[in-house]
Every structure is written in C-alpha cells, then in structure tokens.
Structure 1
Amino acid sequence: MKNPRDIIIRPVVTEKSMSLLEENKYTFIVDLNANKIEIRKAVEDLFNVKVDKVRTMRVKGKTKRVRNRWGKAPDRKKAIVTLKAGDKIQLFEGV
C-alpha cells in the first residue's frame, strides 16, 4: 500500500473550497493514480477522522503560451472528502 503522504499532495484553498467547509467537505489535490478507497484511508490515517464520502474529479492542465512556445500545465486530480458529523480537520480551521 502507498504512504498516505504520497496520496494526499496538498489541500486546495480557494473561495469555493472554503465555502464547502460549512458542509463538512474538504478539498485536496491527490495522486493521479489514487482511487477513492486509498484516498479515504489516507485522510483517515493522516487526520484521525472518519470519512463519510469521497468524490473525485480529474482536471486537465491548461495550455499556456510562454514567449514563442506553447506549454501545458500538468493534469491533476481533486478529491472532495465529506467527513462524518462532528469531525473536523484542524489544518483548515485557521485559514
């Protein structure tokens, strides 16, 4: 099994993801090859909470032009994790 720190790359801190905190939903950038079961296990191990639901989406990287060349940002995978009632992740509390 993969290390939980390899599965969860970083949290997403945007206006939309902060509004989801009221519904007890937390958003993370995760490994492209991670499935919902691995994401659930990694969040439970890292933050000592119980996960109710995991929703994932793949986000294609945007194409950008730098001087005379075209480049592409890497693809990524986002996971929206819903926790059981009463559980909170302290990482997001001060943001």
Structure 2
Amino acid sequence: MKDLHKVIKTIRLSEKATLLGEKNNEYVFSVDVDATKIDIKQAIEKLFGKKVTGVRTANYDGKARRERRADYGRTNHWKKAIVRLKDGEKFDLA
C-alpha cells in the first residue's frame, strides 16, 4: 500500500464540488496520478476516519502552455477523485 499522505494531495473546493457535497454527500479531492480507487478509499478511511461508500476518478491531461518564444511547455497531468461518504458522515470544511 502507498503512503497515505501521498495518495491524497488536496481537497478541491469549487462551486460544483460544493453542490456535490450538499446534495450527494460527495467530496472532490486531487489525488496522486498513480492512485487506484482502493488506495483512495483506504486513505480517506484511515486519515479522516470516515466510511466511504464509493469512489469515482477522472484523469486530466496538462494544458499546453506557451510563452513568448516558440517552445512549448505543459502544466502537470492530474487526477480527480469524487468520494461518496456513508449517510450521516461529512467533512467539516469550515
């Protein structure tokens, strides 16, 4: 199993993520690109002490960036995880 602190990077707070939290008891995290759904579930349950009922993931490619020259660069690739908690449990984000 991977280091739990390297699997979960940050929680992503956006308008859509807030609506998911209010309506479906789902929270959005930025996770390690190599993390599996099982790794994410175990990390949330052990780090935060919450019961996870489901995990959905999405991979995002980094965007191409260009400065004033002809050479191109890229932002980093990243992975998003949407974690559904058991009814009655929630994260206190305040």
2:25 is the counterpart of 1:27: no
**Long gaps (5+) in structure 2:** none
Name the CA distance, whole Å, in 2 between partners of 1:45 and 1:3.
11
- Offset at residue 20 of structure 1 (A): 0.8
**AA partner of residue 60 (structure 1):** D
Pairs within 5 Å for 1:9-28: 9-22=9-22, 23-28=24-29
SS state at 1:27 partner = strand
**Which residue of 2 is the match for residue 57 of structure 1?**
58
Identity of aligned residues (%): 42
Name the CA distance, whole Å, in 1 between partners of 2:68 and 2:9.
30
**Which residue of 1 is the match for residue 78 of structure 2?**
76
Pairs within 5 Å for 1:31-50: 31-50=32-51
Deviation per CA, 1:24-80, whole angstroms, max 9, x where unpaired? 000001011110001000001111100000000101111111221321101001000
TM-score between the two structures when normalised by the length of structure 2:
0.93
